[in-house]
Amino acid sequence: MPRKAALFVLPLVASLAAPLSLSAAPPISAALGLKPIQEGVEYEQVPESQYDSCKLKDLEGDWNGWEVSASDGSTLRRFADTNGDKKVDLWSYFKDGVEVYRDVDADFNGKADQYRWLGTAGIRWGMDNDEDGEIESWKQISAEEATAELIAALASGDQDRFQRLLLTPKELGSLGFEKAEAEKLGSRITRASEEFKPFAARQKVVGSDAKWVQFAAAKPGVVPAGDKGLKVDLVVYENAVAMFESADKPGQLVVGTLVRLGQAWRLIDLPQIVGEDQIARSSGYFFNPVSSAVAAMPAGAGGEQAQKLVAQLEKIDLSLATASAADKPKLNATRADIVEKLAAAASSPEERQTWIQQLVDTVAAAVQEGTYPGGIDRLNALSKGVGSRDAGLRSYIGFQIVSAEYAARLQGSKPEDFAKIQEWYLEELNKFVSENEGSPEAGQAMMQLALSKEFEADEAEALKWYRRVAKEFSGNPAGEKAAGAVRRLESVGKVLELQGETLDGKNFQLSRLRGKPVVIHYWATWCEPCKQDMRRLRQLQAQYQRAGLQVVGISVDGRREDAEAFLKSNPLPWPQLFSEGGLESSRLANELGVQTLPTMLLVDEKGKVVRHNVQVAQLGEELDGLR
């Protein structure tokens, strides 16, 4: 965490209440005692025993202020008034005579609102609009620094630090992507935001002592203006990797795709940690969405034969990036052959596991894209070849087979075939659960089964699955979500207790609205139907004003700022609750097991639930029934 307002403590600079004039030079001890607001800045620090050898002099030129230098004449600190109001608004720190960091008061009110790394420290430029010492966004950050920030965010489990690395909805909108592409990319970014906190808590490879070491990627590429609706050329890195050290051991973090907006590089997805017991996903988005030989290469794969095979993968990856639809099936099959050889030649079980995981992921992705017709057979053969001791890997492969085949069956299917495909899918999920009890994938499958039964209005069957997940996965996110779903489905006729904090920081309790009917509306800025519901809810609130109809919004956006920005442009006359974690893991979503949007509940004047999943088109009739 930054040292909030640290630069206002000593007499040299403005306090929060009253800025100090430049009428008198500060003592050397005060000048050298100041510290940057942001932690982790590497700058020249002088022992107190050497203070007497340092010199302080007035600045020359257009700026007023002082400069502190060491006995050898190298600059240590600079404190300047840049606008002539006789108040310090620039605090600079040096290393080896080079300025490496500065705190900036750009609006000249005595509080720093920008933080810049300079010289040999990089190019980061952080913005702090509310002047609380916390960086809210990066105006400028290199790709290397973005991956270093990512390592730091994982090491500390800092959601905010990760969030400010992601492409924002406003930035995404400015690129001009076609609607379908914008929604696809926006969904990926939202999912990354929502899943970061549980991902950071779950992973055990990037420890709290982790340090970024190096950025690795092939040369950047350009998605040209006009492609997919882009307004401007978009410069991107694909398959980027961050090297780090944790507990004196080296590690690799597959960052995937980074995009450049102005002078800042942004992430669009969660990273993948190579070598841990998780399935590596595709690390390319724009040019090659199903492969990354180098990015997911195990650390131990350094033999001559392995290097030759990896070189072949690189060539195939390049070919896949520009291949026609007719050529991709053969290329994907060849790629799978090579990865199988790498797995067979692995020097350790961990290395073999990594290559198999990459094979499963890329083949499944190609099947779902429709570019590897033989992929399902490949996955089935791979599953049979995995030993009984690899139960976790077999479970993952099995779930990928079901998911990939479901997507393959839907491709090009006729509307009248959907019911049969859905029936097949649910049968396969049931079979998978019975054969893989206790696995994380079985939990995912059961949640899918429960949700499908909710859609079919078969609440008894949905409850059966939700209760099972809640029991078998108690204490983990899936279990919490399932328990909340049980609570929601059984809520009709019961008093609903709901409390939280609104976006403007106020405490909220549903019980305070007793005596009035209430609609509880779960929404997010990326959910277009939710926004349509809002317009209808405004009309209904006016229509049922005499009945005292109240609406309570619950935003499940991954970022508080996204909800705040939307409501600033689209103000609504009802309270808006928010809790961190998004749709995937926020307390407000998990308490009632909300998995899809929009979700609405209707509560009567006694505080009892009337409908636990009401559609906006049904609300008028339901409200009439409460009169």
User: Which of 601, 625, 433, 581 is closest to 533 using CA atoms?
Assistant: 601
Mean pLDDT is highest, among 88-92, 349-353, 440-444, 475-479, for 88-92
Mean pLDDT confidence for 556-582 = 91
- Computed from CA positions of residues 609, 615, 621, 627, in that sequence, does the dihedral angle turn out positive or negative? positive
Same domain membership, residue 527 and residue 575: yes
Asked if the model's pLDDT at residue 133 lies above 90, the reply is yes
- % pLDDT > 70, the chain: 91
Residues 420-448 have a mean pLDDT of 93
Domain count, the chain: 3
User: Based on the domain organization, do 536 and 618 belong to the same domain?
Assistant: yes
For residue 97, is it within any domain?
A: yes
Together in a domain, 620 and 522: yes
* Residue 432 in domain: no
- 130 and 224 co-located in one domain: no
Whole-angstrom Cα distance, residue 258 to residue 255?
8
CB 584 within 8 A of CB 477: yes
Q: Is the overall model pTM greater than 0.85, yes or no?
A: no
* Domain that residue 269 falls in: 141-287
pLDDT in tens, 48-80: 999 999 999 999 888 999 999 998 899 999 999
**pLDDT band with cut points at 50, 70 and 90 for residue 144:** very high
Residue with the bigger pLDDT between 149 and 205: it is: 149
Element at 351 (helix H, strand E): helix 349-369
Output the pLDDT for position 303. 61
- Please check whether residues 127 and 232 belong to one and the same domain: no
Instruction: Establish if 303 belongs to a structural domain.
Output: no
The answer to the question of residue 119 being in a domain is: yes
> By mean pLDDT, which of 207-211, 272-276, 378-382 is the weakest?
272-276
Give the residue from 111, 138, 165 where a domain finishes: 138
Tokens of 246: 């944790």
104-113 mean pLDDT = 94
Residue that is last in its domain, among 73, 106, 138: 138
Residue 23: per-residue pLDDT: 54
Res. 118 pLDDT band, cuts 50 70 90: very high
- Is residue 252 pLDDT above 90, yes or no? no
Mean pLDDT of 79-92: 92
325: its two tokens: 């639809």
Helices (H), 456-576: 459-472, 477-489, 528-543, 560-569
Whether 614 is covered by a domain: the verdict is yes
| pLDDT tens readout for residues 518-556 | 999 999 998 989 999 999 999 999 999 999 999 999 999
CATH number, domain containing residue 604: 3.40.30.10
- The pLDDT mean for the chain works out to 87
Name the pairing type of β-strands 576-578 and 550-555: parallel
- Whether 376 has a pLDDT exceeding 60, the answer reads yes
Q: Are residues 116 and 153 in the same domain?
A: no
Same domain, 132 and 146: no
216 and 239 share a domain?
Answer: yes
Percent of the chain with pLDDT over 90: 58
The predicted structure's pLDDT at residue 484 = 96
Out of 103, 138, 173, pick the residue that ends a domain.
Answer: 138
